[in-house]
Structure 1
Amino acid sequence: MFGETLLSVLPVALLQAVPASEYIPDPFVTGLTTGIAVVAVLASLAISIIHRNKTALYGLVFILFAGLFALSQLFPVIYSIADLRGIAIVGTGVSALLVLSRMKFYADNPKGIDIALFTGYLLSGLTLWAVLLPGFGVPATVVFTYLPVIALICVSAWLYAYRDVKHPVRLMVAAAVATLILMLVQHGSATGHYGFELVFADRVAQVMAGLLLPLFALLIYMTTSRDAGTSKDAGSPSGDELTKLQNMDRLKDEYVAMVAHEIRTPLAGITGITELLIEGAEGELSKDVVKNLELISGSSKRLTYLLNELLDISRIQENLLDYNPRPVHLRSAVNRVIALQFSKASSKGVELRNQIPKTAPNVYADPDKLEQVLHNLINNSVKFTEDGYVAIDADVQDGRVVITIEDTGNGLSKEHMDRIMASFDEDLTKPVPSQTGSGLGLKITNKLVRLMGGELTMESAQGFGSYFGFSVPVTEDDADVDETYENYSITRRAPSAPLTRLVPHRNAHISDKFRVMIVDDEPVNIKVLTAQLSRAGYDVVSFHHGRDALDYLSVEKIPDLILLDVMMPNLNGFEVCKIIREEYTQTELPVILLTAKSQTTDVLQGFKYGANDYIAKPIAKDELLARIKTHMELSKINHAFSRFVPHEFLRFLGYESILDIKLGDQVQKNMAVMFIDIKDFTRLSENMSPKESFDFINTFLGVVSPLIRRSGGFIDKFIGDAIMALFPGGADDALGSAVLISDELKKLNEERKRLDLEPIHIGTGLHSGDLMLGMIGEELRMEGTVISDVVNTASRLEGLTKVFDSNVIISSDILDALSYSNLYHFRYLGKTRVKGKNNILDVYGVIEADDPLKIKFEKASAEAFEAGIKEFYEKNFTRASVHFNEVLKNHPADKAASIFLKRSAHLMVTGVPDTWSGVDEGTYIIEQNQ
């Protein structure tokens, strides 16, 4: 029993054994205690009213319940009311927990206090329920169990979770614990629970409790006064208002970010227009005017740097940054940051080296904070390195990975470096001595490094570059490997010659100008960017809203590059970029974000949605033009390669660039295959020279190929005058394209007829199924190809178009897969089997793809032809012949009716074999007619 343990440590002088029935409380002590308690209650009440502070209110409640408990022990009338005694006991415990709850606003470990409070409140609820049960009363065991546990909870939290030893709230908790112990002693003494009364101990307990109550009131006053004074003097929130202030702080960060963007927007306009004036866009200016304009431009850039640092400060000044560590693949993180710095480094001729091996261990860190540190340090090195390299390396030491950033810049003198290092421990708002800027960047970086449990180190010597290092913990857990930016980690130097030398000259009919689309909701920004790009020789198209830009892309020829503002109404830049990437890859259509949100997390979000690059506002013209040129030429190089390997082929293999593909890459897909060939091309080309033959084929392919792409297909191969195309969307896209091509060819033939040229006739075969797409060859020569029986079958169906004189023939697999078969009329052409295969296919001619006169006859004779087919496969060859003769009577050139008539006559003479499937004899007839 807790009470018996307590007795064993009390001085013997305090004990006097008397019968419980003879114990009478001392009137003087009782009166003194009661008077002091009343004064304490009144004082606490006044403090609560004056300061309107929750800590004061909870303290007042504690005094009231503790006083009620004391009165129940001193006055028999009150003591006889069991429910009142129970409420007093539980109320004292709960109010002690409420006082404890005020500690968590100042605690190092608020979660620990939350757990303690939950346990205490749960115990209090159960105890109150027990003492209020009818006939239960308030047995001593309840008091001797409940009060010690509450005291233990308070003491544990008091020791574990609180950092400020002198803060009055902690002293209030200590006083509350002491009061609980005295209540325990007083209750045991008054009830004779131990078999005798602690007479002197009881009186001492009463006096001490009486003194603790006014002490409690004094502590309440000290708490409220300290909180108020701290709030006024140092900006620290009172416990009562901390939650509200934390919400306000969050809103402040959002407000700062919004204001920073709003300030950057006019800054971009000021900087852009100023640079245009300096360049003489409005005529020649005097040297003094140019000098003043340069001062304006420099001031604008300086204000931009300050805005960037302001955003960083707002996030870490109050140490309210979230830190969410998890396993991170270090090389991938460095590659992402290098990708951000690549254009800037290339324009300065600085080489970026990721020397971290792929086998380096994973680290345990918050990926956003780690990448921000890397970004700040690498950016700093690139900034102060005019030639040479910036190298990032890592090494494992004592269970941590030490990451180093080394550059070949000018370096710093020892005196200057010492001042920087000494400033790391100063207040964040005091600037670091630096060559340019406010110098806050390294201090912010050091704060983030300390958040990761490390320390930023620096070595430098003037003329020999700089060296930065920090460490993060190692982890054995797996982390996601991102190879998206692996190409950026290859050691490389900026190109010494313009990339245009690698791009073949365009055909004369194509404009020599690249086209750039600008999407920005600020008219001033559009005006400045349009002027800068036009003067640099670019065609420009601009839009104020993302939706308008997307509408343009859906109907017009795509531009060569898009400059996309991030902060726009309705659809923001991230959303527009995401939609663009659903249709075009990064190599097909580069997107550069123009963003006032230049925080690393915002930039990385842009890359996540598919942006190629970002430029922070206000925009420096030289940087803008350099980045546009780099991405434009890289895109054109990829376009040149894509003529040999289609973008769609790369997508299926999981790549965006032809540089990524490897020999043996392969994937299985289900799609429709189209095989198109020019009928009688050999005869048509007999009187053509080789050049005329090539011109003829290229003209034909130039008509057909765009129609295939328009229908969602892509060309896998050109085979002389033939085309093999694939349709990932399936049968509807393939058949729609075939009919579209037939319609376009009809128009072309009308033009050829006007020029007295022979018409062009094509055959198209369509089939669908599983295909294997992949790279075949050897290391020095490889190509993309498709391997499948589906291709062979589509080719054979194209061959049947010559036999049946039908422009488009499809398999039953295509017909069954059509969602909109009601748009077309089909003519059943029987069964066929590809040579070397056992599978039998039903094949159909597509009437809408035939010539207009033929369509008319086929629709008119459809009933008779279908009746003949039905009788033929029911082996009623005589009746079948009657129907086919009826068709031929109205249309003698109907080859399909003629073939089936011959088949019927042949089978009537030879008889039907027992194994006849309806295809063997037909194949024989077809081969005889080819």
Structure 2
Amino acid sequence: NDLLDFSALKHKQINLKIKPVGMREITEVVLLLSRPLVGNKNLQLINQVSSSSPPVDADENRLQQILYNLVGNAIKFTERGTIKVSAEVVTSYIKITVSDTGIGIPPDKLERIFEAFEQGDGSINRKYGGVGLGLAVTKKLVQLHGGDIDVESTPNLGSRFSFTLPISKGKVERKQREEVSQVQNYLAMASDSEHLISDHLISDYVMSDHLISDHLMSDHLMSDHLISDHLISDHLMSDHLMSDQNLSPPTMKALKILIVDDEPVNLQVLVNHLYLQNYKITKAVNGEDAFTKITQGYKPDLILLDIMMPKMTGYEFCKKIREKYLPNELPVVLLTAKNQISDLVAGFAAGANDYLTKPISKNELLARIKTHLQLAKINVAYGRFVPREFLQFLERDSIIDVQLGDNVQKEMTVLFSDIRSFTSLSEKMSPQDNFNFINDYLSRVSPVIRNYNGFIDKYIGDAVMALFPEKADHALKAAIEMQKQVYSYNSHRNNSGYEPIASGIGLHKGSLILGTVGESQRMDTTVIADTVNLASRLESLTKIYGAEILISKPTLNDLDNRESYHYRCLGRVKVKGKSKPVEIFEVYDANPEDLIAFKSKTTPRFEEAVAYYVEEDFAQAQRIFEELLQINHQDRVVQLYIERCTKARECGVSELDIVIT
């Protein structure tokens, strides 16, 4: 609105409707409407205009605008203390003063403070926000009334803005005084209400051409100050009626929208527009606040983002968000008065999906939101078939950008998981039961992979292949938790009369290639590398060794703190596709507590026996393994090594002569 008014004033297109206006009444209305701007500040708004103060000749709408700009500025730059509006007679004029206890204005800025686009800090990343037009518009409006405006200020103590208006010889309409009283009564009612205030109810009280400024009630404008067709109800909401975090009507599951704006009024206006559209609203007062919410785990379905905000601009916030979410995963719609082509380009370059310039139509806003949410749903559906991480590694924004043959080489940890003896288990079930069983099982273990920063490359029946781009620890912790989920699932199956299941997991870290294979009409994403082959072989070895989790030496070496895990070396094996023996390790953190205690206690002795076996001292190795078996008959690996030792002593064949397929 400031931009529009500044242009109109510059071209002398504003005509005033002069009539007698009561200063106390007008001040009361403006202070009441300004209360939401105070927020959590320890700040008092005080009307010191005497009830005996004579009326002024003014355009009521524009006088509200003048006062609102001055009071709004005072609130913005004052963290605690008081903001007072007073009036005194000076010859044939009334001098109205808005004083605050805020940060004050530096002396070198006082002469230029009423100039267009002038602020104490002119950068977009200033501390307090705003476009720098409010005071310029205010000055021109005062001068248009035949008055003048000036300012006195002391840094760190506060400021006093004073303007003059001619005293009226007429009388204030009685209707105006009654309407002010109705506003006060309605505010008191709103404070006690437990329900959302209706826009229609409030209109019965105060939507008068005389009381509420047309300037503040425009149907389609929403500026950096105070614009909405539902302005009054937006502002008379009691703080406790709608919390800052979870604003949604009691209905079916709502889509989540994050609104980021440093103007409290804009926030509340948007909340009211979206509230009845089945959206769950979260508010943030600047980019930094919004980014904190995101990093703490909040994931909205769409973000409405202002650009000109303190601490972190909309552009900066958008760039940070794009480091985590692609545009097709989390739509960002910019709402701003900056409407130059360069501004639009900067917005899209920062990663925005859409850009709406003020003035904004409510219906257009709702239509854009609906469209972007629908597109996001489609992309989420695609993401169930092609992981978003795959697109990120291929540096593609959307699945439509993926081309046949796209590939990239990365270092990752590969996880293979499979249910043991699934074929025999499957034969006992109908096709429908098979699908139900597999989906029930996968719904338990798959979220674990995502929780530890991995992503699922593919399902192969009951088997899962997952990739962990960051740390081997993520893959190992996921594997441990997946096995714990199997224990939990078995408890459920036992209670339902079903036999328990067992699964094995193999992990290997190394270089691999992610890419697309197929032909022009049918493509698939895949991972190709020896790393994948070895992880699969390790999973197969879990059946032979009776282990839940097997990892390779490179995986163990890449762990941040290997001592925080329970593991033991199982020796070396030859696997198909590898010319050299592979050293493997069992991780048993998911075992029952008593088995963990046994394995931990006997690991030094166990690894000593394995070393004898590798050195082909089979007799000594067997003696130690039999000693361990006496302590615990459940250790399947010990039983396996005893069998191997017996066979090796008879045939002279060690583990290094066995190829595991």
Q: TM-score range by the shorter chain?
A: 0.5 to 0.7
Question: Whole-Å Cα distance in 1 between the matches of residues 533 and 589 of structure 2?
Answer: 25
Distance 1:552 1:757, change over 3 A: farther
Q: CA deviation at 1:694?
A: 1.1
- Alignment-derived partner of residue 341 in structure 2: 600
**How far did residue 846 of structure 1 move?**
0.2
Identical aligned residues as a percent: 42
State how 1:9-158 maps to structure 2 within 5 Å.
none
Secondary structure, in 3 states, of the residue corresponding to 1:260? Answer: coil
**Is 2:285 the counterpart of 1:544?**
yes
Q: 1:920 aligns with which of 648, 657, 661?
A: 657
In structure 1, C-alpha distance between the alignment counterparts of 2:407 and 2:418, rounded to whole Å? 27
The answer on 1:698 being equivalent to 2:439 is yes
Contact preservation (8 Å) 1:864, 1:886: no
Give the TM-score normalised by structure 2: 0.63
Residue 846 (1) aligns with residue 573 (2): no
Mapped contact 1:674–1:726 kept (Cα < 8 A): yes
- Trace 1:463-862 onto structure 2 (pairs within 5 A): 513-556=254-297, 558-862=299-603
Count of paired positions:
460
Q: Secondary structure at the match of 1:704?
A: helix
Partners of 2:223 and 2:337 within 8 A in 1: no
Once the two structures are TM-superposed, the CA of residue 589 in structure 1 deviates from its matched residue by 0.7
Deviation of the 1:869 alpha carbon:
0.9
Shift of 1:755: 3.9
Task: State the distance in 1 between where 2:133 and 2:597 align.
Answer: 67
Deviation of 1:254 after TM superposition, in Å, equals 5.3
Distance 1:808 1:627, change over 3 A: same
Shift of 1:810: 0.5
The whole-number CA distance in structure 1 between the counterparts of 2:533 and 2:553 is 16
- How far has the Cα of 1:636 moved from its partner? 1.2
Supply the AA of the counterpart residue of 2:657: D
User: Which one-letter code corresponds to 1:640 in the other structure?
Assistant: A
Cα pair distance change 1:289/1:550, threshold 3 Å? closer
Deviation (angstroms), 1:618: 4.4
Match of 1:282 in 2: 200
Q: CA deviation at 1:713?
A: 0.7
Q: 1:758 to 1:530 in 2, by over 3 A?
A: same
Per-residue deviation, 1:567: 2.8
Distance 1:767 1:290, change over 3 A: farther
Compared CA separation, residues 254 and 295, structure 1 to 2 (3 A)? closer
Q: Distance in 2 between matches of 1:881 and 1:759?
A: 32
Higher normalized helix content (fraction of residues): 1
- Give, in whole Å, the separation in 1 of the partners of 2:463 and 2:130: 61
Other-structure match for 1:80: none
Q: CA deviation at 1:743?
A: 2.6
- Relative to its length, the structure with more strand (as a share) is 2
Superposition map of 1:894-913 within 5 A = 894-911=635-652
Q: Cα offset for 1:811?
A: 0.8
Q: Distance in 2 between matches of 1:758 and 1:291?
A: 76
Q: Partners of 1:766 and 1:902 in 2: how far apart?
A: 26
Matches of 1:726 and 1:719 in 2, distance apart?
Answer: 14
Whole-angstrom CA distance in 1 between matches of 2:436 and 2:222: 60
Where does residue 612 of structure 2 map in the other structure? 871
In 1, the alpha carbon distance for the partners of 2:298 and 2:485 equals 20
Partner-residue secondary structure (3-state), 1:725: strand
For 1:894 and 1:259, locate their aligned partners in 2 and report how far apart those are by CA, in whole Å.
71
Listed one character per residue, the Cα deviations across residues 261-301 of structure 1 (whole Å, up to 9, x for unaligned) are: 6759x99xxxxxxxxxxx98324969x96999996479686
Rounded to whole Å, the distance in 1 between the matches of 2:281 and 2:358 is 20
- Partners in 1 of 2:500 and 2:445 — Cα distance? 15
3-state secondary structure, aligned to 1:765: strand
For 1:676, give the aligned amino acid. S
Q: Name the residue aligned to 2:36.
A: none
> Quick one: which amino acid aligns to residue 587 of structure 1?
N
**SS of structure 2 residue aligned to 1:598:** coil
Shift in Å at residue 871 of structure 1?
1.3
SS at the partner of 2:393?
Answer: helix
The answer to whether the 8 Å contact 1:714/1:726 transfers is yes
Residues in 2 aligned to 1:566 and 1:819: alpha-carbon distance in whole angstroms: 41
Mapped partners of 2:415, 2:377: distance in 1: 29
1:160-309 to 2 correspondences below 5 Å: 255=119, 260=131, 263=134, 281-283=199-201, 296=215
CA contact (8 A) 1:261 1:596 kept: no
Amino acid at match of 1:633: Q
After TM superposition, give the deviation of residue 793 of structure 1 in Å. Answer: 1.2
Q: 2:377 aligns to what SS in structure 1?
A: helix
Sort the Cα spacing of 1:290 and 1:833 in 2 relative to 1 into closer, same or farther, 3 A: farther
Distance 1:302 1:644 in 2: 42
Give, as a single letter, the amino acid of the residue that structure 2 aligns with 1:666.
N
Bigger relative contact order (CA 8 A; separation at least 6) = 2
Alpha-carbon contact 2:112-2:118 (below 8 Å) kept: no
- Map of 1:96 onto structure 2: none
Q: What is the CA RMSD across the aligned residues, in angstroms?
A: 3.6
CA distance in 2, matches of 1:628, 1:790: 44
> After superposition, what is the alpha-carbon deviation per residue over 1:563-601, rounded to whole angstroms, capped at 9, x for unaligned?
122233333322322222221111111111222333333
Contact 1:805 1:895 in 2 (8 A): yes
Residue 681 (structure 1) shift:
2.2
Question: Is the 1:648–1:714 Cα contact (8 Å) retained in structure 2?
Answer: yes
Secondary structure of residue in 2 paired with 1:282: helix
Distance 2:443 2:132 in 1: 48
Provide the TM-score with structure 1 as the length reference: 0.46
Cα distance in 2, alignment partners of residues 304 and 853 from structure 1: 67
Whether contact under 8 Å (1:730, 1:768) holds in the other structure is no
CA distance in 2, matches of 1:303, 1:656: 32
Which SS does the other structure have where 2:634 is aligned?
coil
SS of alignment partner, residue 368 of structure 2 = helix
Distance 2:306 2:394 in 1: 32
Q: Which amino acid aligns with 2:264?
A: P
Would the alpha carbon gap of residues 864 and 280 (structure 1) be closer, same or farther in structure 2, given more than 3 Å must change? Answer: closer
Decide whether the 8 Å contact of 1:766 with 1:809 is kept in 2.
yes
1:523 Cα deviation (Å)? 2.2
For structure 2, the 5+ residue unaligned runs are 1-107, 139-196, 225-250
Structure 1, unaligned runs of 5 or more: 1-243, 268-278, 306-509
Q: Contact 1:668–1:773 at 8 Å: present in 2 too? A: yes
**Shift in Å, 1:633:** 1.2
- SS of the equivalent of 1:525 reads helix
Q: Which moved more, 1:251-260 or 1:661-670?
A: 251-260
Cα displacement string for residues 367-397 of structure 1 (whole angstroms, at most 9, x for unaligned residues): xxxxxxxxxxxxxxxxxxxxxxxxxxxxxxx
Counterpart-to-counterpart distance in 1, 2:345 and 2:278: 31
